[in-house]
């Protein structure tokens, strides 16, 4: 599965809210897959990924808020020590995000400009 780095955070905070029905249905299935199969290999990519595929903000193969999401991806990669193009099991990626971001002040630094931040901050990790 291809994921852009900041989606390692969003997946762990997902509670069924999203941009539209198609997006949330797809994300619900994706989160269930990763929860049930934590050894799923995840490749760290730049640009649109498995979650973006069903997002209404995806336009011509790119995110309409590209600058914002790119800067989050760079910050997550740096904080969690992820290599672009590298592959690791979901269990390991989720753990790196937890240890280096959710359990530190990086969570607020990276996510505070996101429209979902208030919800994510009050949501326990999945
Ligand atoms: S605040 Fe936004 S970017 Fe951060 S985990 Fe939540 S949905 Fe993802
Ligand atoms: S297209 Fe943009 S807003 Fe939609 S899931 Fe991808 S990064 Fe997030």
pLDDT over threshold 90, residue 123 = yes
Q: Tokens 């050894």 correspond to what residue?
A: 39
pLDDT single digits (tens) 27-63: 999 999 999 999 999 999 999 999 999 999 999 999 9
Angstrom distance (rounded) from CA 10 to CA 125: 10
CA of 40 to the centre of ligand 2 (A): 21
Could you tell me if the CB of 111 is within 6 A of ligand 2? no
Cβ atoms of 71 and 23 within 8 Å: the answer is no
> Could you read off the pLDDT of 71-116 as tens digits, one per residue?
999 999 999 999 999 999 999 999 999 999 999 999 999 999 999 9
Ligand 1 atom nearest the C-alpha of 7 is: 8
Q: What is the pTM of this model?
A: 0.97
Does 72 sit in the ligand 2 pocket, CB within 6 Å? Answer: no
C-beta of 76 in contact with ligand 1 (< 6 A)? no
Domain residue ranges of the chain, discontinuous segments joined by +: 2-121
């Amino acid at each position: 599965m291809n994921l852009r780095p900041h989606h390692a955070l969003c997946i762990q905070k997902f509670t069924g809210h999203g941009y539209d029905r198609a997006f949330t249905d797809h994300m619900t299935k994706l989160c269930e897959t990763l929860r049930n199969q934590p050894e799923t290999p995840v490749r760290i990519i730049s640009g649109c990924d498995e979650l973006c595929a069903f997002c209404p903000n995806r336009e011509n193969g790119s995110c309409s808020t590209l600058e914002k999401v790119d800067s989050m991806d760079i910050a997550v990669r740096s904080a969690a020590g992820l290599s672009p193009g590298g592959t690791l099991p979901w269990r390991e990626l989720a753990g790196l995000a937890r240890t280096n971001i959710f359990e530190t002040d990086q969570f607020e630094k990276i996510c505070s400009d996101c429209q979902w931040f208030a919800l994510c901050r009050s949501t326990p990790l999945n």
